[in-house]
Structure 1
Amino acid sequence: MIGSSDAVSQIPVPPRLGAVVDVAPVRGSDRPIWLTLSEDGMVSRWDVASGDQEALAATEVPEEDREAWGDWVLRRHLHASHDGMFAAVVNDFGRYGEVVDLQTGDWTLELDNHGDNQGDNEDTVPFSLEFAQSRGRCVVIHRTGWNRLDVSDAQTGALLTDRSIPAPEHELDYFHGALYVSPDGKRILDDGWVWHPAGIPVVWDFDSWIEGNVWESEDGPSRLDVCDRGDAWNHGMTWIDSARVAVVGIRDVDGEVPSGARIFDTSRAVQSGPRDPLAVELLAFEGPAGRLFSDGTHLFSSGDTDLSIWDPAEGKLLGTVPDFSPTHYHPGARQFLRLDDGVVRLWTA
């Protein structure tokens, strides 16, 4: 069996980092380098192995006096670019955010996901945002309306997906949610929902969107519904590799917290009754719950109490790390992290 609580280490957060409210992995590094966000808005870099830390930039995302939908909580969320040169701070289940160049400390993009309409339901989803790479430059994918995503140059803030010409034939009936970029950087997974309401994660090709068809995220030929999650969204999902996706929830949950995992091949589609084609479902099995992560081979499930490790090809439990429920994963360093009251707990796969 893989995993042991004996390998979980505990490290106090260095006082110089302040009261840390969120962290984000610098995924392109094989060292355990993390960006941190303090309560006062300072973004810093922290090498957990060496202990080195450096304050990089101050952010000033507006506070929002509002409540999130359902049981979700409005919170500040930190994102890091692959190389750690840019960061974004956003209000999950809120409206505002910003992108900052960590080399200069300058804000490059002010974010507002509300759009032009009233009642864009941004309180129902985390702020849709992910960093990606295009032609050697860092870009940021971000929600600019309930049914619209855009791509902007992270360094200059320039909009790269201009579609200002009215085109009602491309209007999308879809509330964008949390975004996930595939490990090869070529595809986008969106944990969104449709009225009335139903969670319908979708995928599409990033290169086709940024290089050719600005309507790819609305109705492009690569856009594919993954599955129907019933009334569930904002629950665990992850890319396993460039094609396979794991989603928590093996049945319609009708208000209950979903559990169990479904594995889909998003490179293939099958017609499913009257609905549009769906991704091919490879496997469904009981056990996984909570947040999902993957190293390309294993599926990791961070439940209420333990981290469990699964074979996503067979649905077999391979091991557990008891009494450890990480909230973040650093794929370059293969390190899991949980932040609690000024202390991080760490386990390396």
Structure 2
Amino acid sequence: MAVPSGLGVIVDLAPVHDGARPAWLALGEDGTISRWDVATGRHEAVATTTVPEEPDHDPFDGRQLRRHLHASHDGRFAAVVNDYGRFGEVLDLRAGEITLDLENDGGHQETVPFSLAFGQSRGRCVVIHRTEWNRLDVSDARTGSLLTDRSLPEPPERGPLPEHYLDYFHGALYVSPDGKRILDDGWVWHPIGLPSVWNLDHWIGDNKWESEDGPSRVNVCDRAYYWNHAMTWIDSVRIAVEGLGDDDEEMLPGARIFDTTRTDEHGMAVELLAFEGPVGPFFSDGTRLFSGGASGLSIWDPEQGELLGTVPGISPTRHHASAGQFLELVEGVVRLWDAGRVGAGSMG
């Protein structure tokens, strides 16, 4: 199906779950944010972003600066950020106002997407966002108030590192389905990709240092020169990470499944299974693992590593979890597949 002409050129999409029908937020090339019902084609403009351009951006390893649209679960708040850049903003779509200007303060920002995710804490919507290369903060999405105020220590030129110092470049963020934990696809020097997990509730409510060295923080795995690749929560315990191997030059296509609530003898998350096959973006419906490679969408059993089925003709980059929709946008045409109708050929 074609994108409605009134939406213009779409640069990103984000699912929202604020009604009986599944809907998407669409970010236009001109900065307009619209609410779009893909099934009916109806759409309405709800806000306009003013995130500045970054003309001096120097790409790292081919990673071009790009606009990324995030949405809170209920669709009230949106965030627009410059992935692999420094700037962004949070918007209250109901009030039509910017509630928080974002800046990640540099520090190899060209190596990672802008760290940001929406969550819930004690009945309010919060936004988790990178404010320095080694610091994440949590702010109230409605008021912009900082909820994780703390002073990070500076490392000495020589000698042991101070308490709470985190030598870690934060990357893409993923909140668990139950909203209680967060997965961070970051890296450490020299460089090594080192995804980590910790408890979001504890961080906001009990320990402001939880994201640095809290007791719930667990490293998942380490891979030399390998981050910014597919990963997803399968449920609120298990995650799937793309790539078989521990070095980018020897990586094979496949998935590794980890239990993030248990650790092995090295203090890393327990690896449950590794199997060949899955490539591209990863998604999950709580039971199955979906991978969106160039040849189409594949469906996997993450407990046995078995291929359950394929959906040719669509390589989705977005997943509407509550609606079971997978979406690919290519040159103004939307390809949509409904996972609730497996075998029905329900591709738009």
Does TM-score exceed 0.5, indicating one fold? yes
Name the CA shift for 1:347/1:30 in 2 (closer, same or farther; >3 Å).
Answer: farther
Alpha-carbon distance in 2 for matches of 1:96, 1:186: 27
Q: Secondary structure at the match of 2:163?
A: helix
Q: Which residue matches 2:280?
A: 290
Alpha-carbon distance in 1 for matches of 2:327, 2:318: 5
Name the CA shift for 1:42/1:286 in 2 (closer, same or farther; >3 Å).
Answer: same
Paired residue for 2:268, among 262, 278, 299?
278
Q: Which residue matches 1:44?
A: 34
Q: Secondary structure at the match of 1:152?
A: strand
Alpha-carbon distance in 2 for matches of 1:143, 1:194: 16
Alpha-carbon distance in 1 for matches of 2:185, 2:253: 16
Q: Which residue matches 1:326?
A: 316
Q: Which residue matches 1:103?
A: 94
Paired residue for 1:112, among 84, 99, 103?
103
Among all aligned residue pairs of Structure 1 and Structure 2, give the percentage whose two residues are the same amino acid: 67
Alpha-carbon distance in 1 for matches of 2:244, 2:119: 30
- Given the alignment of the two structures, is residue 135 of structure 1 paired with residue 122 of structure 2, yes or no? yes
Q: Secondary structure at the match of 1:339?
A: strand
> How many residues in Structure 1 have an aligned counterpart in Structure 2?
331
**Higher relative contact order, chain-length normalized (CA < 8 Å, sep 6+):** 1
Q: Which residue matches 2:177?
A: 183
TM-score after normalising by structure 1: 0.92
Q: Which residue matches 2:235?
A: 241
Structure 1 stretch displaced more, 247-256 or 130-139: 247-256
Q: Which residue matches 2:24?
A: 34
- Given the alignment of the two structures, is residue 58 of structure 1 paired with residue 48 of structure 2, yes or no? yes
RMSD of aligned C-alpha atoms? 1.4
Q: Which residue matches 2:109?
A: 122
Q: Secondary structure at the match of 1:171?
A: coil
Q: Which residue matches 1:25?
A: 15
Q: Which residue matches 1:7?
A: none
Name the CA shift for 1:121/1:27 in 2 (closer, same or farther; >3 Å).
Answer: farther
Q: Which residue matches 1:6?
A: none
Instruction: Give the 5 Å matches for 1:291-310.
Output: 291-310=281-300
Alpha-carbon distance in 2 for matches of 1:263, 1:28: 31
Q: Secondary structure at the match of 1:259?
A: strand
Paired residue for 1:92, among 65, 83, 91?
83
Residue identity opposite 1:343 in structure 2: V
Alpha-carbon distance in 2 for matches of 1:256, 1:334: 34
State the Cα deviation string for residues 55-77 of structure 1 (Å, max 9, x = none). 00111101112132112221000
Q: Which residue matches 1:163?
A: 150
Alpha-carbon distance in 2 for matches of 1:44, 1:236: 27
Segments of 5+ residues of structure 2 without an aligned counterpart are 155-161, 340-348
Q: Is the 8 A contact 2:77 2:91 kept in 1?
A: yes
Name the CA shift for 1:278/1:77 in 2 (closer, same or farther; >3 Å).
Answer: same
Q: Secondary structure at the match of 1:324?
A: coil
Paired residue for 2:186, among 183, 192, 212?
192
State the Cα deviation string for residues 237-277 of structure 1 (Å, max 9, x = none). 000001000000110233466521000000111122xxxx1
Q: Is the 8 A contact 1:74 1:92 kept in 2?
A: yes
- Given the alignment of the two structures, is residue 266 of structure 1 paired with residue 260 of structure 2, yes or no? yes
Q: Which residue matches 2:139?
A: 152
Shift of 1:32: 2.3
Residue identity opposite 2:105 in structure 1: H
Q: Is the 8 A contact 2:152 2:165 kept in 1?
A: no
Residue identity opposite 2:40 in structure 1: S
Q: Is the 8 A contact 2:46 2:96 kept in 1?
A: yes
- Given the alignment of the two structures, is residue 16 of structure 1 paired with residue 6 of structure 2, yes or no? yes
Runs of 4+ in 1 over 4 A off after TM superposition: 27-30
Alpha-carbon distance in 1 for matches of 2:308, 2:178: 26
Q: Is the 8 A contact 2:187 2:193 kept in 1?
A: yes
Q: Secondary structure at the match of 2:239?
A: strand
Segments of 5+ residues of structure 1 without an aligned counterpart are 1-10
Residue identity opposite 1:71 in structure 2: G
